[in-house]
């Protein structure tokens, strides 16, 4: 196996962020240098507390957590606690972690970590998996533009190409919450030679649905982690039934982690993408899929994925299921 890839996970935990962190922490391909938290699903301080709860549950309180931006660049901050609960983890109300505490200065942590890698060979540079609004990343670029020399890749859960939005007919929450940040990050990548944002948008994440059967199966195979997942997702199940009329919950963020590790998890195409920052389409990702504007292809837009493949990936790593158990369970339970 190649040396683990150095990553920083920027997130807004958040229920699906928590599942994404569990997947990342269960993946030997990653060396997680730190977790930076941004205002999004919940205020940044609460998100940092939730990141610590996941690290404690996973036995990884060696990984530092940093609190980042507490409001979007321009817009008034709008959280998503209606979806993630008043504690941001589905009102599971796990106790606050006291053994370790988060630090301030997420943007400064990002800057110094990337700067230290500026002269490193590509495989030693730092990648960012962004699972929330892009406010921390935009602030990094504004305050420390040279730090991007140490960046290997940026994978962002956000946006939507052809799928409908989840905050408006056209806008996905991460880019709707802070459209100015998303705009600035995509613009910055238009001038970074050879770098693209890998956009894991609603077109692919909507395929990843955690169903009651799968949740029950997780609890059978791994009672401790299954119980944690059950407790943090029950609120999410209720929300999805009311909001989207589905039995289960779309778990967006873990797909971004899975794709970062295994690029065949999703497929798509390169294009120039811009983000709308005003009017009724605020937060929309406008993907120039026919190259009208002849602009740099600053993004890889992912449009296809394989949900069964993802579930196998998640079950074997997070739940510790063997391949046979996964296939039997997925086929058996999904078919039942």
Residues of this chain that bind ligand RIB (CB under 6 A): 12, 14, 16-17, 40-41, 80, 131-132, 157, 166, 172-174, 252-253
Pick 14 or 201: Cβ nearer Ca ion: 14
Residue 285's Cα: distance from chain center in Å?
17
- Helix, strand, coil distribution of the chain in percent, nearest 5: 45, 20, 35
In the complex, the smallest distance separating the C-beta of residue 84 from ligand RIB, rounded to whole angstroms, is 7
Residue given tokens 């939507």 in the structure block = 160
Pick 49 or 172: Cβ nearer ligand RIB: 172
Q: Kind and range of the H or E element at 106?
A: helix 106-116
If one counts every other C-beta atom within 10 angstroms of the C-beta of residue 331, the result is 11
Pick 208 or 330: Cβ nearer ligand RIB: 208
Residue (of 147, 92, 106, 316) closest to 217 by Cα position: 316
Return the one option of ligand RIB, Ca ion, none that residue 166 interacts with (CB less than 5 to 8 A, by type): ligand RIB
Pick 175 or 217: Cβ nearer ligand RIB: 175
Residues 6 or more apart whose Cβ sits within 8 Å of residue 62: none
Return the one option of Ca ion, ligand RIB, none that residue 47 interacts with (CB less than 5 to 8 A, by type): none
Packing angle, helices 223-244 and 212-221, rounded to 10: 170
Phi, psi of 20 (to 5 degrees): -65, -40
In the complex, the smallest distance separating the C-beta of residue 58 from ligand RIB, rounded to whole angstroms, is 18
Phi, psi of 116 (to 5 degrees): -65, -20
Pick 18 or 261: Cβ nearer ligand RIB: 18
Strands 151-157 and 65-67, sheet pairing: unpaired
Pick 173 or 186: Cβ nearer ligand RIB: 173
Position closest to ligand RIB via CB: 173
**In contact, 283 and 172? CB cutoff 8 Å:** yes
Return the one option of ligand RIB, Ca ion, none that residue 173 interacts with (CB less than 5 to 8 A, by type): ligand RIB
Bridge-partner residues for 269, per DSSP? 301
In the complex, the smallest distance separating the C-beta of residue 190 from ligand RIB, rounded to whole angstroms, is 23
Pick 27 or 174: Cβ nearer ligand RIB: 174
**108-to-112, 142, 268, 301 alpha-carbon distances in Å:** 6, 12, 33, 29
Return the one option of Ca ion, ligand RIB, none that residue 172 interacts with (CB less than 5 to 8 A, by type): ligand RIB
In the complex, the smallest distance separating the C-beta of residue 14 from Ca ion, rounded to whole angstroms, is 4
In the complex, the smallest distance separating the C-beta of residue 84 from Ca ion, rounded to whole angstroms, is 9
In the complex, the smallest distance separating the C-beta of residue 200 from Ca ion, rounded to whole angstroms, is 11
Phi, psi of 94 (to 5 degrees): -65, 145
Integer Cα distance of 301 and 199 in angstroms: 5
Instruction: Kindly list the residues in this chain that would bind Ca ion in the complex (CB under 5 A).
Output: 12, 14, 17, 131-132, 253
In the complex, the smallest distance separating the C-beta of residue 88 from Ca ion, rounded to whole angstroms, is 10
């Amino acid at each position: 196996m190649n040396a683990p890839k150095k990553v920083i996970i920027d997130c807004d935990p958040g229920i699906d962020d928590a599942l994404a962190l569990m997947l990342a922490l269960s993946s030997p391909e990653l060396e997680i240098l730190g977790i930076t938290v941004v205002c999004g699903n919940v205020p940044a301080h609460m998100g940092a507390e939730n990141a610590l709860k996941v690290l404690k549950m996973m036995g990884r309180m060696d990984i530092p957590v940093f609190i980042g931006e507490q409001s979007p660049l321009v817009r008034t901050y709008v959280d998503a606690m209606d979806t993630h609960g008043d504690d941001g983890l589905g009102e599971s109300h796990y106790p606050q972690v006291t053994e370790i505490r988060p630090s301030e200065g997420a943007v400064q942590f990002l800057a110094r970590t990337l700067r230290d890698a500026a002269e490193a060979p590509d495989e030693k540079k730092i990648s960012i998996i962004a699972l929330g609004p892009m406010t921390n990343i935009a602030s990094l670029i504004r305050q420390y533009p040279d730090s991007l020399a140490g960046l290997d890749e940026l994978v962002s859960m956000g946006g939507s190409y052809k799928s409908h939005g989840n905050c408006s007919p056209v806008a996905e929450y991460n880019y709707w919450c802070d459209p100015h940040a998303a705009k600035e990050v995509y613009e910055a990548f238009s001038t970074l030679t050879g770098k693209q944002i890998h956009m894991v948008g609603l077109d692919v994440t909507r395929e990843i649905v955690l169903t009651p059967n799968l949740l029950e199966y997780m609890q059978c195979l791994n009672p401790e982690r299954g119980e944690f997942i059950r407790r943090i997702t029950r609120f999410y199940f209720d929300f999805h039934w009311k909001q989207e009329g589905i039995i289960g919950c779309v778990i967006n963020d873990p797909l971004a982690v899975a794709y970062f590790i295994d690029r065949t998890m999703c497929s798509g195409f390169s294009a120039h993408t811009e983000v709308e920052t005003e009017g009724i389409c605020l937060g929309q990702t406008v993907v120039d899929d026919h190259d009208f504007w002849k602009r740099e292809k600053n993004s890889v837009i992912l449009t296809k994925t394989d949900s069964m493949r993802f579930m196998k990936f998640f079950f074997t790593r997070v739940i510790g299921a063997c391949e046979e158990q996964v296939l039997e369970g997925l086929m058996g339970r999904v078919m039942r």
